[in-house]
Amino acid sequence: MVKDYKTGSLKAFDFNTLLKSIPELKQLSCKIASVSFEKPIDSSNMNPRHWALIAELIEINYAAYDGFVVLHGSDTMSYSSSALSFMLEHLSKPVIFTGSQLPIGDLRTDAKENLITSIQLAALRQNGQAAIQEVGLYFEYKLYRANRTTKINAEHFQAFNSLNYPHLAESGVHLKIYNEYLIPRKKQKNLNVHKKMDTNVAILKIFPGINQNLLKSVLQTPNLKALVLETYGAGNAPTEKWLIDELESAIKNGLHIVNVTQCSGGSVIMGQYETSDALKNMQIINGKDITTEAAITKLMYLLASNVSPKLFKTIFETSLRGEMQ
């Protein structure tokens, strides 16, 4: 966004004036092209149809460019970038999501640095290949694996963090890439773009006082196929019989339930405490250290891929794009 100084309101940035607005980009040793949605949206209105459009733009232009930067509002950026990490299979070029907390025309904006460094990262090459070959999220001097991120602050410039995985690069006086944390380069395969996502999913956060009627209403949602269950600590939940019975019945009826911790960092370890024994015994899916954003988008991706119900638990518990350990 950019501020209209006549009215004081925010409007969509005109990328035809990109080099005029950010002349520093002329110092980069790469050619830059841009494309925008015909009608820009607030990121709060982001949905899987828009993810498919972004994925398709990358697919169409994949052979023509060395890397891609996706400018996105910060509110749903972790969801979108996590989704794209699953939708872009066999990615061998960088796709860097970035944005800003203040609009690009603001006096103290973080937009310029975030954009300039993201383009640098997208253009970076090592030994004739793209240095980064995955979907990343760059914000406030750090590049993270996109599907490891969560928005942690609505006011600070450091809006995102990756609490369960180290950052991939850091921008200071020098641009430092931590190769040991990047997804290892494999034998190159053709990019496979998955544009279908199944939205018959839900998220339910366990809280003290949760009642049977609420749980039932969620579990009995028409066409619901999968649920992210946000539990306490290392994957713990109340041991009341009605709750265990409802969850067990839903799983027997074919619902995929993923146990994810409510904590910002840490991992689900079912069986560590007595309060997670029942969940472990009913074969609930172990979300390990995955974020809620990655869990819900991974479910959408796997459901749309028609994974066999017998293999679903095993495949979800397997890291596909570095999203869990």
pLDDT reported for residue 8? 76
Answer yes or no: is 27 within a domain. Answer: yes
Q: Are residues 181 and 153 in the same domain?
A: yes
Tens of pLDDT, residues 147-164? 999 999 999 999 999 999
Q: Kind of pairing, strands 125-126 and 129-130?
A: antiparallel
Q: Are residues 221 and 311 in the same domain?
A: yes
Answer yes or no: is 310 within a domain. Answer: yes
Q: Are residues 233 and 90 in the same domain?
A: no
Q: Are residues 118 and 68 in the same domain?
A: yes
Q: Are residues 57 and 120 in the same domain?
A: yes
Are the C-beta atoms of residues 84 and 55 closer than 8 Å to each other? Answer: yes
| The two three-digit tokens of residue 282, written as one number | 């009913």
Q: Are residues 243 and 301 in the same domain?
A: yes
Q: Are residues 172 and 91 in the same domain?
A: yes
pLDDT reported for residue 6? 81
Rounded to whole angstroms, the maximal C-alpha distance in the chain is 65
Handedness of CA 43, 48, 50, 52 (dihedral sign): positive
Q: Are residues 166 and 225 in the same domain?
A: no
DSSP H/E element including 3 = strand 2-3
Q: What is the domain range of residue 215?
A: 201-316
Answer yes or no: is 322 within a domain. Answer: no
Q: Are residues 160 and 28 in the same domain?
A: yes
CATH number, domain containing residue 228: 3.40.50.40
- The whole-angstrom separation of Cα 325 and Cα 319 is 7
Phi, psi of 183 (to 5 degrees): -60, 125
- The whole-angstrom separation of Cα 271 and Cα 256 is 19
Answer yes or no: is 324 within a domain. Answer: no
CATH number, domain containing residue 13: 3.40.50.1170
Q: Are residues 179 and 212 in the same domain?
A: no
Per-block mean pLDDT, blocks of 10 residues, the chain (325 long): 77 75 86 87 93 97 96 95 98 96 81 93 93 97 98 93 97 95 88 98 97 97 98 95 96 97 95 91 96 98 97 98 96
Tens of pLDDT, residues 63-114? 999 999 999 999 999 999 999 999 999 999 999 999 998 877 777 888 889 9
Indicate the pTM of the whole model.
0.94
Q: Are residues 72 and 211 in the same domain?
A: no
Last-in-domain residue among 147, 177, 193: 193
The tally of domains found in the chain comes to 2
Last-in-domain residue among 193, 220, 240: 193
Answer yes or no: is 60 within a domain. Answer: yes
Answer yes or no: is 22 within a domain. Answer: yes
Q: Are residues 258 and 274 in the same domain?
A: yes
**CA-wise closest residue to 185 among 308, 57, 93, 269:** 93
